[in-house]
Structure 1
Amino acid sequence: MEDVKAYIESGILELYVLGDISATEKAQVEEMAAKHPEIVAEIAEIERSMELYAEEHAIEPSEHLRSRVLNNLLVNLGDDNTFSKAVTHQDDDNVVALPIARVTSFYKYAFAACLTLLLISVYGLVNLYSKLQDSNTQLTALQADKLRMANQVSLRDNELQVYRDTAFKVLKLKGTAKTPAATMVLAWNTVSKKVMVDMPGMKLPQHDQKHQYQLWALVNGKPVDMGVFDLPKADTAGIKEMKAIAYAQGFAVTLEPNGGSINPTMDQMVVIGTF
């Protein structure tokens, strides 16, 4: 009984009614129908259902189409392709030909998707490039800071070396009556004859852009030019090397016009010191 039920549910009876089975399968269905009344009843029910469906959805064709359809059914009841051609080429207004699906819409959607992905990729690349530029800017700034720190450390090392070297004599120049708060420290190497001025440690009065400070060495009571210098900037570190001298009894600083003077302006002296 179960085999009969499975045979009915297999769908072969519907194909039998439509005539869309081979001769061998048709003979098998007829053999099963002869043995089992349930199959005969099922075949009848299928035929009745198809007739009802056909009547409910029937469309009155033109005489021209009717004859072509009948001829096609006589030749091959299951030839759906021939029937489709007949429907496509009919001229009757009661029969509507189904439109062929356009495959070009797929390419339109695919192109739109590709274009969207391209725009997203371009935006991502621009954003990445901007971040790389920012990173390069930051890296350049860090490298500049590193170089500045290295220079400051180097200057500090040179400054410490001056104070460690016993060949250097350190002299503190004090302010005059005109500038009592002024001070400056220099170191003079009696062997190499170098004179080094402590720039960050100096405290001298501010001056205008038309003047500079000039260092003088006192040799047997006479001033000797040792070069000019400006007040250090806030971030200046290290020491400044002036002109060399083999012998000096002391040093002094005066305020002179830019470029210095041949002789010191005595009333513009700001600091002085002797050994």
Structure 2
Amino acid sequence: MKNKELIESGNLELYVFGLLSEAEMTEISKIAAEDADVKNEILSIEKSVVALSSSFAPNLSADNYSKIKQKLDLDNEVIQLQSKSNVKQYIGWAVAAVFLIGCGILYNLQNKKVTEINDLLEDKNTLEQTVSAKERLNNQINTSYAVLKDENNIVVKLAGQAVSPTSSAKVYWNNKTNKVYVDASSLPTPPEGKVYQVWSLKLAPTLTPTSIGLIDNAEDKMKYLIEVEGTVGAEAFGITLEPKGGSKTPTMEQLYALGKV
């Protein structure tokens, strides 16, 4: 066998690990002693083995590693790996390396799955919120349509007052159920910290206001009919602008709309 063919055959790796027969080991030792290329190739393989051991072998002390490295770098001689027990050690290091790499891959896959699950949960929550908003909108539309069609509802038109002459509103008051719905779509959007308050009014013998609900701009409520508290015996309805949370009595200088039944 020519020396170039010997280098490319893979037998030098087996020689380093002590996996050849005694005769083959002896033959390669003789060739290495006479051929610098073969000797250098063996040294290169041995250095690779030691480099691997320094990364993955927990039982290889710094002193032993330094001795082996010094043997390779300074003596420049081929190390005879006579005992096959060392092969088990190298195999153990290789298995440990594969195990560590496998753990890293599994860890990355797990993190990826966790991220994907979190993304799906966020999408689910967003979808649920969208569906809920659509359901509320659908209910508001259906309610508004039913109120407009109900012949038992009295429609009370509320005209704009001095503070806002262009404002207007409508109250739908059911004669049988006493339920009250308000169309506030023609009122300006209430400023921050303010809400509209709806009042049921009795005019005689004295003006007696009763609060029947608040209207703010949350979720564009003002675009649809808004149900407030029911009332009995109302003679008029009014809407004032009040601080958030409402007032016990109407602020008359902030009276935006007023209409008699």
Q: Which TM-score applies when normalising by structure 2?
A: 0.58
User: Once the two structures are superposed, what CA deviation does each residue of 1:88-135 show, in whole Å capped at 9, x if it has no partner?
Assistant: xxxxxxxx9772343221221122112211210111111111111111
SS at match of 2:156: strand
98 and 132 in structure 1: CA distance in 2 versus 1, 3 angstrom threshold: closer
SS at match of 2:218: coil
122 and 241 in structure 1: CA distance in 2 versus 1, 3 angstrom threshold: same
RMSD, matched Cα: 3.1
Give the equivalent residue in structure 2 for 1:165. Answer: 150
Unaligned stretches of 5+ in structure 2?
1-29, 32-78
150 and 98 in structure 1: CA distance in 2 versus 1, 3 angstrom threshold: closer
Larger CA Rg, structure 1 vs 2: 1
CA distance in 2, matches of 1:116, 1:176: 78
> Of 136, 154, 159, which residue of structure 1 is paired with 2:121?
136
Give the equivalent residue in structure 1 for 2:16. Answer: none
Q: How does 1:210-229 map to 2 (within 5 A)?
A: 213-220=197-204, 222-229=207-214
98 and 241 in structure 1: CA distance in 2 versus 1, 3 angstrom threshold: closer
How far residue 194 of structure 1 moved from its aligned partner, in angstroms, is 1.1
Q: Which amino acid aligns with 1:203?
A: L
202 and 226 in structure 1: CA distance in 2 versus 1, 3 angstrom threshold: farther
The percentage of counterpart residues that share the same residue type is 20
User: Once the two structures are superposed, what CA deviation does each residue of 1:219-260 show, in whole Å capped at 9, x if it has no partner?
Assistant: 557443143414323533643333322333432223456543
> Of 65, 83, 92, which residue of structure 2 is paired with 1:100?
83
Give the equivalent residue in structure 2 for 1:80. Answer: none
Q: Which amino acid aligns with 1:260?
A: S
246 and 135 in structure 1: CA distance in 2 versus 1, 3 angstrom threshold: same
Contact 2:212 / 2:231 at 8 angstroms: preserved in 1?
no
Q: Which amino acid aligns with 2:201?
A: A
211 and 121 in structure 1: CA distance in 2 versus 1, 3 angstrom threshold: closer
Q: Which TM-score applies when normalising by structure 1?
A: 0.55
Count the aligned residue pairs: 180
How far residue 154 of structure 1 moved from its aligned partner, in angstroms, is 1.2
108 and 134 in structure 1: CA distance in 2 versus 1, 3 angstrom threshold: same
